[in-house]
Amino acid sequence: MGLLSLAIWTPIAFGVVLLALGRDDQAQAVRWIALVGALVGLLVTVPLYTQFDVATAAMQFVEKSPWIESFNINYHLGIDGISVWFILLTAFINLIVVIAGWEVITSRVNQYMGAFLILSGLMIGVFCALDGMLFYVFFEATLIPMYLIIGIWGGPNKIYAAFKFFLYTLLGSLLMLVALIYLYITSGGSFDLLTWHKLPLGQTAQTLLFFAFLAAFAVKVPMWPVHTWLPDVHVEAPTGGSAVLAAIMLKLGAYGFLRFSLPITPDAAHEWAGLMIGLSLAAVIYVGLVSLVQKDMKKLVAYSSVAHMGFVTLGFFLFNDLGVAGGIVQMISHGFVSAAMFLGIGVLYDRVHSREIAAYGGVVNTMPKFAAFAMLFSMANCGLPGTAGFVGEWMVILAALRVNFWVGMAAATALIFGAAYTLWMVKRVYLGPVTNDKVKNLKDINAREFFFLSLLAIAILYMGLYPFPLTEVMDVSVSELLKHVALTKLN
Amino acid sequence: MIDKLSLIAVYPEIILLVMACVIALFDLGVKSRTRTATYLVTMLTLAIVAALQASYAASGQTLYAFGNMVVSDVMGNWLKCFATLSVMVTLVYGRQYAADRDMLRGGELFVLSLFSLLGMFVMISGNNFLVIYLGVELLTLSSYALVALRRDHTLSIEAAMKYFVLGALASGFLLYGMSMLYGATGSLDVQEAFKAIHAGQIKHQVLVFGLVFIVAGLAFKLGVVPFHMWIPDVYQGAPTAITIMIGGAPKLAAFAVVIRLLVEGLMPLATDWQPMLMLLAIGSLAIGNLAAIVQTNLKRMLAFSTISHMGFVLIGMMSGAVAGQPEAAASAYSSSMFYAISYVLTTLISFGVILLLSREGFEHEEISDFAGLNQRSPLYAGIMAVCLFSLAGIPPLIGFYAKLAVLQALVATGGTLQLVLAVFAVMMSLIGAFYYLRVVKVMYFDAPAGSAVLAAPLEVRAVLSLNGALLLILGLVPGGLMALCVNAVTQMLTT
């Protein structure tokens, strides 16, 4: 069994064991098994980074064996510089989520932990799949555990949110399914992604395929104007669900652009780049403004996720090294930062049971340790230099300036909005005098919370101060991708 | 003159017929309320028949018997094997339910099940218009009686009446169409008819006239729009143990008849029947899915979902005949076959769980009855959820590959219209996902409706768990079953 298979199936195997354990009477054992599962799941991904060869753009750790022979579908895994970090990120966030849910989840613990472990394995599968159908299977299968996580452990309006999440994303991916089948037939019976990358396609076919992929990935990212599901879902999802959704699931869509839209339909991607840049800027600026007026902390962070993901798609469709690499760095940093933001809100929510900004005020007086973490995460969220949030945004803005001054200018304004809505929230929630009794009676974070928040804080600072390990692995793969995208596929 | 070779081809049928009669007599001496002895003998018979069919299928031979009246080929053998297994599973799930509802006063449940299975066998093997018709009648007549088995229950009797009247009408259609074709081609033999039509000497209008009636009759039996009216009423009204009997295995037989009549017999008229099937499929997908949304009764909802799934089976059937692409046919028909088999597998579960949760005097069939099932029994809720996600076509469950195969066959035809239809079909399955998810929501997110203990016999729990696991296992490794379908259909087409 290869390393990638281990990374996928270890958490899933632990998850299945947890589901089989049955009811709540062994909750404590369940938590420990989940922790071991998440930890082992993370450890098996470490060699992927340490043994990674940064000098080649070819797929590494490749595994290939026939899966469904009548359709020529293969169990084909492999990673390059674009995908390797997402696997580590997924396994890491999974571990954090298991720790974060430790005392908070008291009902049906085994199903909660099991769902997260299985979800994590499936998402790693998405990032490794080199077979179109295998990708689709992992991509879609993630919906089932997430649907249950939102629906079972979510807030008051959880059912609406669960349905919105499932149907919205299914709508997009079903169109992609037709596109995959079309590619299978046009390529003479192959679901192999690398074959598709080389497949010549006419202009009309490329346009149709591009929009079919766009339907799937734009909803998942989510891009403006199909982002409306995200705030609703984030508000209702349990803390862990929000963290995984923002940190990893959104990246599945953005990753899809890099693996499907750009290399398979390069001409259509160039033709429609203007549209994509426009939509990305709309997300960055308009949604940034929308965040400013939110009264609900989770909703605010959700909208800010949409704005941050706007930077990602903006970077991809600038078609230069800096932009694409910046987009990927932004994805990873946003993975850490958004997870940290949601987990921070979760810490408050567990104590006060409110997400309203107005329900807080002066938290720093009663929870000084926590407020320090929250301040750091918020700074990272508005892209302060020295934190993870800065690197990606800076790269993308620079890339945009290179392409067109006004695009870069527009993107840069988003930094101001980002700072505005985040800092204003910090001011209203954490700073100032204690506003009410609930805040007055708050207890500061315990050792467990301190532990997982500091893990995130270390990651965020490290990335901000020394992003070289990130950019180092992706350089070759990104320039190879751009070289490929620059070539026309029209015959 | 009956030669020995002919007999070999129909040994399973003979065993089934003899045993059905033997069991009818044997049951007279059984006193037990749950008819354990009859049940065991029936199961043994079915097991032997299934094993026999599997060994026939494995031998890979195609036998024509009784002057080409019946054919025993790989596709037929596999379908018969799966139909037999499905009847076995049905009986396992339904026995307790039937006993609780006074349906086991005699052994009719078992005997009629065997006869209906025999009817399916004859349908699947029939290579002659009349033989196929006889099979259809044997199946449906047994089914009418099965639906009416709960004779003091108004809904069941009403369902049986409706089923009988509409079924008789459909049989009339089928027979009328067959007689038109007989008149035009001068033969009842499927291959002879094919040759006669292929020769091109017969007036096209007459043939199409007969074809319309045949397609209408088949559409009735499959239950596709606009001939679907009986499905919701019969599914809901019939005792659940019988619903699963008529909703499961007979779909395999109906598939086989469509293959035998339209593909083996009327292939030269493909340009005429393909648009018909397309219209039927579009209607079924639309009406089946849209009507299912508003149902509150799970059995009725599943009935409408059946209609939409049969639409998918038809999509596979109509994608087969593409000019100049003989290999497309095999992949298209095998996709339909795979769809039908996977559909039967899932249907057994969905109704099986309803059966298992129904208790004496309480029909567990409203969607709201499933509230909080996850808290009461994570296992059954999990099995049901797997089944519903599979019906919704979410990977990695078998229902997804069934849809994939059918859509692949459709897109492979290369037409723009077909591409649009493919998009339409996936949009309809999005609507489908909504109502399946609603049941999952009720099971997982709502508070429990009752606290009654969910007790089921060990064999039921074991078979149900196995059945649920199969959905997942075949979802993870669907290759084997797919290859089986492709082989079966390829052999059927080449001989």
* Interchain pair B427, A174: CB under 8 A: yes
Q: What is the pLDDT of residue B150?
A: 84
What's the maximum distance between 2 C-alpha atoms anywhere in chain A?
71
A63: buried, middle or exposed (CB in 10 Å: 19+, 13-18, 0-12)? middle
CA geometry: angle B82, B87, B89, nearest 5 deg: 95
A406 lies in a domain? yes
SS3 for B362? Answer: strand
Q: How far apart are alpha carbons B392 and B308 in whole angstroms?
A: 11
Average pLDDT over residues B35-42: 89
CB spacing of B395 vs A137 below 8 angstroms: yes
Q: What are the pLDDT digits (tens) for B419-439?
A: 888 889 988 888 888 899 889
Residue A78 belongs to what H/E stretch? strand A73-79
Q: Where are the alpha helices (DSSP H) in A57-202?
A: 84-100, 109-128, 132-141, 143-153, 158-186, 193-198
By the 10 Å C-beta count (0-12 exposed, 13-18 middle, 19+ buried), A114 is classed as: buried
List pLDDT tens digits, range B193-217.
888 888 888 888 888 888 999 999 9
Say if residues B207 and B64 touch (Cβ distance below 8 Å): no
Q: Max Cα separation, chain B?
A: 70
Cβ neighbour number for residue B33 with a 10 Å cutoff: 11
What would the pLDDT profile of A345-372 be if each residue is shown by its tens digit?
888 888 888 888 888 888 888 888 888 8
Residues 6+ positions from B18 with CB-CB distance below 8 Å: none
The answer to whether the Cβ–Cβ distance between A133 and B404 falls below 8 Å is yes
User: Which residue in B has a C-alpha nearest to residue A154's C-alpha?
Assistant: B445
Residue-by-residue DSSP string for B121-154:
HHHHHB-BHHHHHHHHHHHHHHHHHHHTTSTT-H
Quote the percentage of chain B above a pLDDT of 70.
97
State the angle between helix axes of B204-222 and B298-318 in degrees (0 to 180), rounded to the nearest 10: 150
Instruction: Calculate the CA dihedral of residues A341, A342, A347, A350 and round it to 10 degrees.
Output: 160
- Asked, for residue A316, whether it belongs to a domain, the answer is yes
Q: Which pTM was predicted?
A: 0.90
pLDDT per residue over A125-146, tens digit each? 999 999 988 999 999 889 889 8
- pLDDT computed for residue B124 by the predictor: 92
Backbone torsions φ then ψ of A482, nearest 5 degrees: -65, -35
Q: Which residue of B has its CA nearest to A141?
A: B395
A-facing residues of B in 399-428 (CB < 8 A) are 400-401, 404-405, 407-408, 411-412, 414, 419, 422-423, 426-427
The predicted structure's pLDDT at residue B2: 65
Is B382 in contact with A181 (Cβ distance < 8 A)?
Answer: no
The total of structural domains in chain A comes to 1
Query: A175, B440: Cβ pair inside 8 Å?
Result: no
Residue A131 lies in a domain: yes
pLDDT of the residue at A24: 66
Restricting to B residues 21-80, those with a Cβ less than 8 Å away from any Cβ of A are none
The dihedral region occupied by B220, where left means phi > 0, alpha psi between -120 and 50, and beta the remainder, is: alpha
Of the candidates A144, A152, A162, which has its C-beta nearest B394's C-beta? A144
CA distance A421 to chain B (A): 34
- Average pLDDT across chain B, whole number: 88
pLDDT of residue B323: 59
For B118, the 3-state DSSP assignment is helix
Cβ contact A170–B478 (<8 Å): no
Residue A239: the pLDDT is: 86
> Given a cut of 80, is residue A33 above it in pLDDT?
yes
| A–B CB contacts, 8 A cutoff, strictly below | 97
Q: Which chain A residues touch B382 with a CB distance below 8 Å?
A: 19
C-alpha to C-alpha distances, A416 to A292, A327, A340, A391, nearest whole angstrom? 11, 19, 21, 16
What is residue A444's DSSP assignment? P
Residues A274-302: pLDDT tens digits? 899 999 988 888 888 888 888 888 888 88
Sign of CA pseudo-dihedral A405, A407, A408, A409: positive
**Residue B71 backbone class (left: φ over 0; alpha: ψ -120 to 50; beta: rest):** beta
CA angle B477, B386, A132 (to 5 degrees): 45
Pair of tokens at residue B368: 């709201």
Q: Is B435 on the interface with A (CB under 8 A)?
A: no
Condensed to tens digits (0 to 9), the pLDDT of residues B284-323 reads: 999 999 999 999 999 999 999 999 999 999 998 888 766 5
A446 burial (CB, 10 Å; 0-12 / 13-18 / 19+) is: exposed
The mean of the pLDDT values for chain A is 87
In whole angstroms, give the CA distance from residue A451 to residue A454.
Answer: 5
Measured in angstroms, the CA of A192 and the nearest CA of chain B are apart by 16
**A59 sits in which H/E element:** none
Higher pLDDT, B451 or B113: B113
In this predicted structure, the answer to whether residue A233 has a pLDDT above a threshold of 90 is no
Interface contact B473, partner A, CB < 8 A: no
Q: Is the pLDDT of residue B396 over 80?
A: yes
pLDDT at B320: 77
Question: pLDDT tens, B146-179?
Answer: 998 888 888 889 999 999 999 999 999 999 999 9
Over residues A305-320, mean pLDDT: 89
Strand B70-72 versus strand B63-65 pairing type: antiparallel
Cβ contacts of B327 on chain A, cutoff 8 Å: none
Residue B3 pLDDT greater than 80, yes or no: no
Which run of H or E residues covers position B290?
helix B270-293
Position B401 pLDDT exceeds 60: yes
State how far the Cα of A15 lies from the Cα of B478, in Å rounded to an integer: 22
Is A491 inside a domain boundary? no
Helices (H), B358-397: 373-376, 378-392
Domain coverage including residue A277: 3-486
Q: Average pLDDT of A42-47?
A: 89
d(CA A169, CA A162): 11
| Two tokens, residue B12 | 């399973």
Nearest CA-CA distance, residue B423 and chain A, Å: 7
Domain positions in chain B are: 4-494
| CA-based torsion, B36, B41, B42, B47: positive or negative | positive
Looking at residue B80, what is its pLDDT?
Answer: 93
Given an 8 Å threshold on Cβ–Cβ distance, is B411 in contact with A171? no
Contact assignment for A144 to B407 by CB distance below 8 Å = no
Any domain includes A223: yes
**Burial class of residue A28 in the structure, from the number of CB atoms within 10 Å of its CB (0-12 exposed, 13-18 middle, 19+ buried):** exposed
* Angstrom distance (rounded) from CA B399 to CA B407: 12
Residues comprising chain A, all counted: 491
What is the per-residue pLDDT across B55-105, written as a single tens digit (0 to 9) for each? Answer: 988 888 888 888 888 888 899 999 999 999 999 999 998 888 888 888 888
**Burial class of residue B155 (count of CB atoms within 10 Å of its CB; 0-12, 13-18, 19+):** middle
Question: Cα–Cα distance between A322 and A471 in angstroms, integer?
Answer: 10
Whether B394 sits inside 8 A of A141 (CB atoms) is yes
SS3 B117: helix
Q: Is the pLDDT of residue A423 over 60?
A: yes
Percentage with pLDDT > 90 across chain A? 9
| Closest to B332 (Cα-Cα) out of A192, A135, A185 | A185
Cα separation, B289 vs B301, in Å, equals: 9
Q: Report d(CA A206, CA B257) in Å as an integer.
A: 41
Other CB atoms within 10 Å distance of the CB of residue B31: 6
pLDDT of residue B179: 92
